[in-house]
Structure 1
């Protein structure tokens, strides 16, 4: 049995769950006051924080593998599980974001757990084990009433505004219809765009020809946007140069900023999407991801 502790959307939690996999949020849903209290306790006090945890804390011993998603402020959860783990259990901390946006490996490397990441550079720099990003092959795009567009981007600013502005200029120069939904939490609240639900995100993907993927500085791991383009047979525009080595790379499908000529963007957008085999896609399916953690983690 597997226990996966994530803070993902309800849709993802549902898709990850099966007879052998229990998926839960790490923390109980609490009000703003209690969130602030939890942050103080985690950051400054060395006391038991388990009163804030979901019910998984009562059944840790029932699982052979526990996968904890690394966040910036969940070191208490990792320490708690490592302290409670049985000798025959595996505890895996999964870095699904770059190291600089998560709990630093140096803070947990001496705990009884395995550290894995989707980012190959981080794996080399911090001696982590590598696994790919994953997606869900049984997830289908919804019917969308959103007007058809050429290029779609959705994400937090995260220091990407300058490059997004320059890409926007290229969209205009090539007469491409685009929608960039950039959430900038540094702006005054009244000027911020609301976060899209994942269902809303899927509706935009359903209506677009290409998904735009802009990596954060220092990142080199396949993002969710790369997976969305792959699984939904959309074109991908990205600044991730290493994707040219990916087993699903094809110049008809992936336009790489910094490698490909912007003058060829329009012809790229008008070319047919090259079909990627189901065998290749299956490598990036959630259940293949589980299997790659090793024989003891096989379903």
Structure 2
């Protein structure tokens, strides 16, 4: 059976980049958020109000009967539908919207893909999701074991790579500090001690934790397009995993697609079919 896919994706640029190969297919509709596809500013306001996290602490999706029919409009009617949700749509996932879809499209399949580890946010309700979705996929094998999910590696589509300057970078990192800031800084220190030129964009770092160093840029958000321009100028990409995570991230696919070296602390990468010691280097062993 050939399904028609409605993808409830994320606003971050890397989501659309990762799925760009399928976004142009005639049986795929991709939405960057739950207001995407809604033209009326007033309707968008009502949808945002309905899913507002603070409001929902006191009153659960008060406008659901009004706004649910507006979400993720599709051109396929009721025929062979598969709704694919990303974990970042937790406001919708935690509402009665999946149940609404079941009622409106009885034959539709509901699928959830976790691009992040379950422990990364307090909003995820895996017990609820497992009751409501036909299939839950995860990029992380550890989460698959813990929650009984099905493993599927992070999708990625190759985009045209363009450097925006002549700056040459030996090691590039871009990401939030999360629970790995010390490991990121340790890698930076080791690389610079070896005379390597680093460019690290690290967000969510309080001022009292910041250190001064060449190529360290704090709390500056860049688009995924900008991220790729720095990848183009770099010899090596640094990957530092969140604690408890061991799935293949976008960093591995960027290294493969754009012929870069990967420096990672994910020791499980050696089990990947894409692993090669010629371009993948383990932090504790290589630095």
TM over 0.5: yes
Residues 91-135 of structure 1 show CA distances to partners (whole Å, capped at 9, x for unaligned) of: 001111001135131232222432111100000000011111111
Q: 1:93 aligns with which of 102, 105, 112?
A: 112
Structure 2, gaps ≥5 residues long: 37-43, 209-216
Paired position in structure 1 for 2:176: 156
1:36 Cα deviation from its structure 2 partner = 9.4
The verdict on how the C-alpha distance between 1:175 and 1:53 changes in structure 2, with shifts beyond 3 A counting, is farther
Q: 2:54 aligns with which of 19, 40, 44?
A: 40
Matches within 5 A, 1:223-238: 223-238=249-264
The verdict on how the C-alpha distance between 1:12 and 1:44 changes in structure 2, with shifts beyond 3 A counting, is farther
Paired position in structure 1 for 2:164: 144
The verdict on how the C-alpha distance between 1:185 and 1:91 changes in structure 2, with shifts beyond 3 A counting, is farther
Q: Counterparts of 1:36 and 1:177 in 2: how far apart (Å)?
A: 48
Instruction: Indicate whether 1:123 and 2:144 are aligned.
Output: yes
Q: Is the 8 A contact 1:69 1:93 kept in 2?
A: yes
The verdict on how the C-alpha distance between 1:142 and 1:261 changes in structure 2, with shifts beyond 3 A counting, is closer
Instruction: Indicate whether 1:245 and 2:264 are aligned.
Output: no
Paired position in structure 2 for 1:111: 132
Per the normalisation by structure 1, the TM-score is 0.76
Q: Is the 8 A contact 2:17 2:156 kept in 1?
A: no
Q: Is the 8 A contact 1:236 1:255 kept in 2?
A: yes
Q: Counterparts of 2:247 and 2:95 in 1: how far apart (Å)?
A: 23
Paired residue total: 257
Paired position in structure 1 for 2:28: 21
Structure 1, gaps ≥5 residues long: 263-299
1:39 Cα deviation from its structure 2 partner = 1.5
Paired position in structure 1 for 2:78: 61
The verdict on how the C-alpha distance between 1:42 and 1:147 changes in structure 2, with shifts beyond 3 A counting, is same
